[in-house]
Amino acid sequence: MDIREKIKRVGVVGCGTMGSGITQVCAQSGYKTIVSETNEELLKKGIASIESFLKKGIERGKITQQEKESTLANIKGVNDLTYFSDCDLVIEAVSEDLNLKKRIFTDLDRICPEHTVLGTNTSNLCIMEIASATKRQEKVLGLHFMNPVPLIRLVELVKSIVTSNETLEVVKEFTKSLGKEFIVASDTPGFIVNRLNSPFMLNAIRMFEAGIGSIEDIDRAATLGLNHPMGPFTLMDFGGLDMMYSSVRQRYEELPIPEFMPPPLLKRMVYAGRFGRKTGKGWYEYNEKGEKIGVMKLEKVSKSL
């Protein structure tokens, strides 16, 4: 299958952390890519993050100035979903809000041609429920990229009970054309990656709550003992504790097994506003450059509640 005959133009809904990363890898792989945001300010911020990432790539000798320019030339930023009317694949990458995603998919279903495949970057929500907002349920599936998108090679493809094999094969070839590897998961809570990773991170919190180890020592156990690139607390801060808390609650509601139950401290961290790097405080504390400058002491959280 020559995938570039089937997919000539890609659309990405949302230009936040995930959307900008997905936009970058699509454009960098030679696809004409349209990315939408709700307003010009958010759009400019997302495009600026792509430019910054590419600039760092030049400084590290990973890409050339010409590659940066050609990537940016492949990107078109818009504030209206109607621009996706000639896209062959659209990937939604907005926040984990089921009703918002369903509204977007209803609009995309109306705007896009019949052949267009619609993907969602959700890490947690039911693909079938999102697909139910369309009249092309067989052409809807999950395309779960990992954060940071340009650096992590894996994409989790999630097939609902009605996703066609043809749709899955097209997206497999597309994923390979991005230089990524894929795994195929069924449409169950957490899919594969988060079904593995969430209990690991939640258990790290429980260990800290129980006084088994410090935040820093548990992280060091994961990086030095298990060869993980990040410890669980560093990873939670990177992704955002608010997002994690929301996703594990949804997962536990659908599949109420003990390993998915949010620990009490995670809830209290969220209500204390300690979301991680984006707020400057999570399990660790950060400066304006996002560099660690300290570690949380449990009494700090207790006093802030």
Looking at the predicted structure, is the pLDDT value of residue 16 above 80?
A: yes
Q: How far is CA 102 from CA 70, 119, 194, 220, in A?
A: 34, 12, 22, 41
Residue 303 within any structural domain of the chain? no
Tell me: the pLDDT tens digits for 220-274? 999 999 999 999 999 999 989 998 999 999 899 999 999 999 999 999 999 999 9
The predicted model gives 102-128 an average pLDDT of 97
Same domain, yes or no, for 212 and 64?
A: no
Quote the pLDDT of residue 290: 87
Tell me: the pLDDT tens digits for 23-66? 999 999 999 999 999 999 999 999 999 999 999 999 999 999 99
Best CA proximity match to 116, nearest among 81, 152, 161: 81
Quote the pLDDT of residue 289: 84
Same domain, yes or no, for 210 and 105?
A: no
Same domain, yes or no, for 182 and 62?
A: yes
Residue 105 within any structural domain of the chain? yes
Looking at the predicted structure, is the pLDDT value of residue 6 above 70?
A: yes
Residue 275 within any structural domain of the chain? yes
Separation of alpha carbons 203 and 222, rounded Å: 12
Single pTM value for the model? 0.91
Same domain, yes or no, for 25 and 172?
A: yes
Q: Catalytic amino acids?
A: 123, 144, 156, 194
Exposed (0-12), middle (13-18) or buried (19+): which is 214, by Cβ within 10 Å? Answer: middle
Residue 166 within any structural domain of the chain? yes
pLDDT band at 297 (very low <50, low <70, confident <90, very high): confident
Same domain, yes or no, for 71 and 201?
A: no
Same domain, yes or no, for 122 and 199?
A: no
Same domain, yes or no, for 101 and 175?
A: yes
Total count of residues recorded for the chain? 305
57 contacts: CB under 8 Å, gap ≥ 6: 63, 68
**Of 186, 208, 243, which marks where a domain is finished?**
186
Residue 145 within any structural domain of the chain? yes
Same domain, yes or no, for 159 and 14?
A: yes
Asked whether 113 and 90 are in contact (CB, 8 A), the reply is no
62 contacts: CB under 8 Å, gap ≥ 6: none
Residue 249 within any structural domain of the chain? yes
The predicted model gives 68-83 an average pLDDT of 97
Task: Look up the CATH number of the domain holding residue 247.
Answer: 1.10.1040.10
What token pair was written down for 77? Answer: 């930023």
Looking at the predicted structure, is the pLDDT value of residue 304 above 80?
A: no
Residue 212 within any structural domain of the chain? yes
Other C-beta atoms closer than 10 Å to the C-beta of 292 total: 14
Same domain, yes or no, for 89 and 9?
A: yes
Same domain, yes or no, for 118 and 99?
A: yes
**Of 144, 169, 186, which marks where a domain is finished?**
186
Separation of alpha carbons 159 and 19, rounded Å: 21
Domains: count for the chain = 2
Residue 304 within any structural domain of the chain? no
Quote the pLDDT of residue 153: 95
Q: Which residue range is the domain that position 218 belongs to?
A: 194-292
**Of 121, 155, 186, which marks where a domain is finished?**
186
Task: Look up the CATH number of the domain holding residue 68.
Answer: 3.40.50.720
Quote the pLDDT of residue 260: 92
pLDDT band at 299 (very low <50, low <70, confident <90, very high): low
Looking at the predicted structure, is the pLDDT value of residue 300 above 60?
A: no
Separation of alpha carbons 16 and 243, rounded Å: 14
Quote the pLDDT of residue 32: 98
Tell me: the pLDDT tens digits for 59-69? 999 999 999 99
Quote the pLDDT of residue 305: 42
pLDDT band at 302 (very low <50, low <70, confident <90, very high): very low
Tell me: the pLDDT tens digits for 156-185? 999 999 999 999 999 999 999 999 999 999
The predicted model gives 140-154 an average pLDDT of 96
Same domain, yes or no, for 89 and 142?
A: yes
Same domain, yes or no, for 252 and 151?
A: no
Looking at the predicted structure, is the pLDDT value of residue 13 above 70?
A: yes
